[in-house]
Chain A
Amino acid sequence: MDDLYREVIIEHYKNPGYRGYLDPHDYAFADSNPLCGDHIEITLRVDGEQNVTEAAFQGHGCAISQASADLLLESIIGKPLEEVKHLDKEYVLDLLGLDLGPVRLKCALLSLKVLKAGVYGLGEAPDSLVE
């Protein structure tokens, strides 16, 4: 339990650095986890070389879903979009420093799913994006 609710996660949940909505933006996507009702919307700005310059998320949900969104966006600032497209499950789990069971994994991976669906310009966010 102490692992799951490490200070870093509580801190990012309570005082997120990347909460907000970028208007205008270059990329945007929103999705929910139907089981929990966690909801995340991500907006991105990129520069001429297609590197991420700014990122923001809004929504609601458990500490794991919200902290993972904040950590994820913090980690992609300056990264090329091409690299963002190839981020995977392990990347998020490394950011969180956690090993999660199947139920909470969905909470942790919602933000990555939303991010990738937005960057790929998809109409929906299938689970296959983060498997």
Chain B
Amino acid sequence: MTFDVAKIRADFPILRREVRPGVPLAYLDSTATAQKPLVVIQAMDDYYRYSNANIHRGVHTLAEEATALYEGAREKIAKFINAPAAKQVIYTRNTTESINLVAYSWARTNLKTGDLVILTEMEHHSNLVPWHMLEMERGIRLEFISVTETGLLDLAGYKKLLEQSPKLVSFTQMSNVLGTINPAAEIIRLARQAGAVTLVDGAQSVPHFAVDVQALDVDFLAFSAHKMCGPTGIGVLYGKASLLEAMPPFLGGGDMIREVKLRSFKPNALPHKFEAGTPAIAEAVGFGAACDYLTSIGMDNIAAHEHEITEYALERLEEIPGVKLFGPGIQDKGGVAAFTLDGVHPHDVAQILDGDGIAVRAGHHCAQPLHEKFHIPATSRASFYLYSTKEEVDRLVDGLYKVKKYFG
């Protein structure tokens, strides 16, 4: 299949809008959240128009339909990451909640004072704070794989840390700031040799290239629908069946129980054990539609397109005097370009670009420790997805010259 970006853009209604009259949108903030194709919006709209009912308990037609749609989406997501069984796909609200689920259920059962958890210096706050909380509560120890000047993980340092027999290695497969694509299979293999359980933050990887949980042999994978063309409010925790089965429930309530007495309960089987209360049903339906959509385009095609756009963006940004790019070169990088412009705060950069309809993010991108490491309070970040174009990169570059003129 040839990759026709114009055809893909036509699938996304929002990409047709003008930010202000006569100013078309250049959306370069997909790392924060991706735009939604019409098929996803329509799947959710159809669900509410024709099939809306609560799931699992009802016997009427609508309840049957809603349950089939909700569980059907789970099957699609399982297939998307090549999970052995759909019951290993637990619906959560987002990546953050998925990581918290592991921290609350698995870690509070399996970790005691002094146990070591290995993280990295490039983690999003969502893979830092749950472990800080456990450190305070339980006295676990945290160590960090350091990030080199070029934005790669220091694997030699990691091997040294593994000599301390960690219980868990939890890391991002792709940095949301540097764009670094980490060698996840290798990190997991080494962790397993050292006897550690592994958790991968797939918030940035699953949307952008094929992630196969069985090939990775990962114990837990967390990701969000909204970064992969699906709706907000729903994410997934994938886990190995043996681990999930041994874990106590996370939240208590309806749907997660097999039987409730006045003074006791028996938890439900997987995946329902971890899904208390009425879930985000329409969002699950939208999530399933997003998986179908991405699969129809092909994850390898998407990754190749992003690679081409990112390579072009790095080239063009590098030619601007005063622009400093962060992170590795294109060979280790996903579709993210974080940069600073000499003498101009990233917020001013983002604001002036917005005047031309160019949406980039400015700030520390929920990775404050990483910014401290590079001694910068904030960066501007342009990020790319399947609908991004070289023309948008050109508009970004023109916009940055305009910023320089303002602050000249």
Once the chains bind, are A104 and B351 in contact (CB under 8 Å)? yes
Once the chains bind, are A63 and B345 in contact (CB under 8 Å)? yes
Task: Tell me the residues in window 23-48 of chain A with beta carbons closer than 8 Å to chain B beta carbons.
Answer: 35-39
Per the bound structure, the CA–CA distance linking A60 and B348 in Å amounts to 13
Q: How many chain A residues touch B (Cβ–Cβ < 8 Å)?
A: 17
Q: Does A77 contact B (CB under 8 A)?
A: no
Closest to B349 in A: A62
A37 CB contact (under 8 Å) in B343, B348, B351, B363 = B363
Q: Does B352 contact A (CB under 8 A)?
A: yes
Once the chains bind, are B355 and A1 in contact (CB under 8 Å)? yes
Closest to B363 in A: A36
Once the chains bind, are B406 and A10 in contact (CB under 8 Å)? yes
What chain B residues lie within 8 Å of A5 (beta carbons)? 348, 351-352, 406
Decide yes or no: A60 and B363 within 8 Å by CB, A5-B406, A36-B347 being known contacts: no
B378 CB contact (under 8 Å) in A10, A14, A36, A104 = A36
Q: Which of B364, B371, B378: most chain A CB closer than 10 A?
A: B378
What chain A residues lie within 8 Å of B50 (beta carbons)? none
Interface string of A48-68 (1 = CB under 8 A from B): 000000000000111110000
Per the bound structure, the CA–CA distance linking A117 and B346 in Å amounts to 27
What chain B residues lie within 8 Å of A4 (beta carbons)? 351, 355
Per the bound structure, the CA–CA distance linking A98 and B259 in Å amounts to 61
Once the chains bind, are B377 and A60 in contact (CB under 8 Å)? yes
Closest to A32 in B: B377
Q: How many chain B residues touch A (Cβ–Cβ < 8 Å)?
A: 18
What chain B residues lie within 8 Å of A36 (beta carbons)? 347, 362-363, 378
What chain A residues lie within 8 Å of B364 (beta carbons)? 37
Chain B's nearest CB lies how many Å from the CB of A60?
A: 6
Per the bound structure, the CA–CA distance linking A39 and B343 in Å amounts to 16
Closest to B343 in A: A14
Q: Does A107 contact B (CB under 8 A)?
A: yes
Per the bound structure, the CA–CA distance linking A5 and B355 in Å amounts to 11
Decide yes or no: A14 and B407 within 8 Å by CB, A4-B351, A37-B364, A104-B351 being known contacts: yes
What chain B residues lie within 8 Å of A39 (beta carbons)? 377
Per the bound structure, the CA–CA distance linking A33 and B344 in Å amounts to 17
A62 CB contact (under 8 Å) in B345, B355, B371, B406 = B345
Closest to A63 in B: B348
Per the bound structure, the CA–CA distance linking A63 and B341 in Å amounts to 13
Task: Tell me the residues in window 64-99 of chain A with beta carbons closer than 8 Å to chain B beta carbons.
Answer: 64
What chain B residues lie within 8 Å of A61 (beta carbons)? 345, 347, 377
Once the chains bind, are A64 and B348 in contact (CB under 8 Å)? yes
Once the chains bind, are B406 and A37 in contact (CB under 8 Å)? no
Once the chains bind, are A37 and B377 in contact (CB under 8 Å)? yes
Q: Which of A10, A36, A38: most chain B CB closer than 10 A?
A: A36
Chain A's nearest CB lies how many Å from the CB of B200?
A: 28
Per the bound structure, the CA–CA distance linking A62 and B348 in Å amounts to 6
Per the bound structure, the CA–CA distance linking A63 and B352 in Å amounts to 11
7 tightest A-B contacts by CB? A1-B355, A62-B345, A62-B347, A37-B377, A63-B348, A62-B348, A5-B406
Which residues of A are interface residues toward B (Cβ below 8 A)?
1, 4-5, 10, 14, 35-39, 60-64, 104, 107
CB pairs A–B below 8 angstroms (28 shown) = A1-B351, A1-B355, A4-B351, A5-B348, A5-B352, A5-B406, A10-B406, A10-B407, A14-B343, A36-B362, A36-B378, A37-B364, A37-B368, A37-B371, A37-B377, A38-B347, A38-B377, A60-B345, A60-B377, A61-B377, A62-B345, A62-B346, A62-B347, A63-B345, A63-B407, A64-B347, A64-B348, A104-B347
